[in-house]
Amino acid sequence: MSMQNPVFIPGPTNMPEVLRKAVDMPTIDHRSPLFGAILHPALAGVKKVLRTESAQVFVFPSTGTGGWETAISNTLSPGDRVLAARNGMFSHRWIDMCQRHGLQVQVVETPWGEGIPAGRFEEILAADKAHEIKAVLATHNETATGVRSDIAAVRRAMDAARHPALLLVDGVSSIGSMEFRMDDWGVDAAVTGSQKGFMLPAGLAIVGLSAKAMAAVETARLPRTFFDVRDMAKGYAGSAYPYTPAVGLLNGLKLSTEMLLAEGLDNVIARHNRIASGVRDAVRAWGMQLCASSPDCWSDTVSAIRTPEGFNATRIVEHAASVYGVAFGTGLGEVAGKVFRIGHLGSLTDVMMLSGLATAEMAMADLGLPVRLGSGVAAAQEVYRSTAVQLATAA
C-alpha cells in the first residue's frame, strides 16, 4: 500500500505533517519544568475540546479501550449494575469489558444500524426505584455501523427518571470531529483516544471526569493501578506522571488542541458534516444505502455502506488496497462482509475525500458492481462546490 495516499479508515486518521513533526521530538527529562510546559497546556486544550469547565482531564499512555477501563475501574465496584445498549461492535466490546470486571450489565439489544433507544432507557431507569443501576454506558458514535446516538436524549431520559446513575460516554470516534458537549449533556466520563479527531498516532487514552465521577472515585472498589486517576492527579500537581509519560504524543496533543481551537470547534464540526454529506450523496448515486437506519443517526465521521445481497463487501477493501494502494474499513461483527466503511474524520478535506470516492468507484466497477464511474464523485462535487461558494461568500 502506498504511503503517499491518504487513508479512509475510521482511524487512525491522516496526520498533518506539523503534528507528525511535533510527535517526533528529542528526549527531554520528563521530571523537569520542560515537561510541565507540554502537559498542562495539553490538558487545558482537551478540556476546551470537550466543552467542559469543571471536568478533570486525564491522559494515559494507552488507547480508547484503556480509556474505557479508566472510566469503569475508577467509578464502579464489583457487582455494580450498569445499563447499556448493544448496537454495534464497540458497544459490544465495552459490555464485554464490564462483564470481565465482574459488573452486572443490563443489555438492551438494539438492531445494528440504530442508535441508543433513550426511551427504553428511561423506562428501565424509572423502574429502578432502588437505584441499583450505578452507571449508564453510551457509545456516542458506533464506528462499526456509522451510527451516531443522541447523548443529550440519554441525559434527558436519565433526568426524567430522576435517576442518579453516572453517564459514561464512549466518544472515541466523535470527540474532536462531531458535536460533543460534556457539561451541557451532563456527561460524567468522556472517553476518547489520540488517533481519531485529534489526528495523532494511537497511543493516548483521553478521559474527562465530572465532579460527580471524581466523587465516585473515592468509593469505587474495582482494582486499578496503572489507570488510577488519583495517582495521576498527584503526578499532575507536580507537573509529572506517576510513571514514564509518552512525551512526544503529549507534545502532539498540545499542538492538536491548538489547531482544533484555532479552526474553531463549530467550524471543525461543520467541516466534518460537509464532507460526510458529500459521501452520503455519493452512496445514493451508487444506488446503495447506509447501514445507519435513518438520517437522525447518520455519523459525520464514518459511513458504513451496504453492498448488494450476496456480495462480499470485504472484497472492495481488499481490492482497493492491493490495486490502488488506498485503505478503507471492513465490516465488523454482525455486518462483516455486508458493509465497507469510509472514514471521513480527522485531517481531511473535500478534495482528499473526492480521491477516496473515486477509488471506491474504481474498485467497485472492477469487481462488477453496477456503479457508473464518476457518479458518486459528481454527487459529492455538487455538495462541495455549493458549500465552497457559501464559505467563500461568508469570508
pLDDT of residue 391: 61
3-state secondary structure 248-281: HHHHHHHHHHHHHHHHCHHHHHHHHHHHHHHHHH
Q: Of 208, 243, 262, which closes a domain?
A: 262
| Cell numbers placing 141 | 458514535
Torsion sign across C-alpha atoms 289, 290, 296, 302: negative
- Digit-by-digit pLDDT tens for the chain (395 residues) are 567 899 999 999 999 999 999 999 999 999 999 999 999 999 999 999 999 999 999 999 999 999 999 999 999 999 999 999 999 999 999 999 999 999 999 999 999 999 999 999 999 999 999 999 999 999 999 999 999 999 999 999 999 999 999 999 999 999 999 999 999 999 999 999 999 999 999 999 999 999 999 999 999 999 999 999 999 999 999 999 999 999 999 999 999 999 999 999 999 999 999 999 999 999 999 999 999 999 999 999 999 999 999 999 999 999 999 999 999 999 999 999 999 999 999 999 999 999 999 999 999 999 999 999 999 999 999 999 998 756 655 54
Looking at 238, 262, 286, the residue that finishes a domain is 262
pLDDT in tens, 86-120: 999 999 999 999 999 999 999 999 999 999 999 99
Q: Report whether 111 contacts 263 (CB < 8 A).
A: no
Question: CA separation (Å) from 239 to 41, 64, 164, 225?
Answer: 11, 23, 34, 20
Q: CATH no. for residue 302? A: 3.90.1150.10
| pLDDT per residue as tens digits for the range 287-310 | 999 999 999 999 999 999 999 999
Nearest-10 crossing angle of helices 350-366, 314-324: 110
CA 324, distance to chain mean position in Å, is 27
β-strand partners of 341: 304, 329
Residue 389 is predicted with a pLDDT of 54
Cα–Cα distance measured from residue 41 to residue 54, given in angstroms and rounded to the nearest whole number: 16
Residue 212 lies in a domain: yes
E-strand ranges in 66-188 read 81-86, 104-109, 133-139, 141-142, 147-148, 166-170
Residue 11 domain flag:
no
For residue 217, report the phi and psi dihedrals to the nearest 5 degrees. Answer: -55, -35
CB of 117 within 8 A of CB of 160? no
Do residues 256 and 268 share a domain? no
Q: Report the length, in residues, of the chain.
A: 395
Q: Which domain holds residue 44?
A: 17-262
- The maximal CA–CA distance of the chain, rounded, in angstroms, is 62
3 found inside a domain: no
Q: Name 350's Cβ contacts closer than 8 Å, sequence gap at least 6.
A: 274, 275, 278, 380, 384, 387, 388
Last residue of a domain, one of 262, 282, 315: 262
The pairs formed by 280-289 with CB atoms below 8 angstroms and a separation of 24 or more are: 281/376, 281/379, 281/380, 281/382, 281/383, 282/357, 282/375, 282/376, 282/377, 282/379, 282/380, 283/376, 284/379, 285/375, 285/376, 285/378, 285/379, 286/361, 286/364, 286/371, 286/375, 286/376, 287/370, 287/371
DSSP 354: H
Domain contains 1: no
Total domains in the fold of the chain: 2
Residue 101, domain CATH: 3.40.640.10
**Alpha carbon separation from 272 to 175, 300, 350 (Å, rounded):** 12, 6, 9
124 and 230 both lie in a single domain: yes
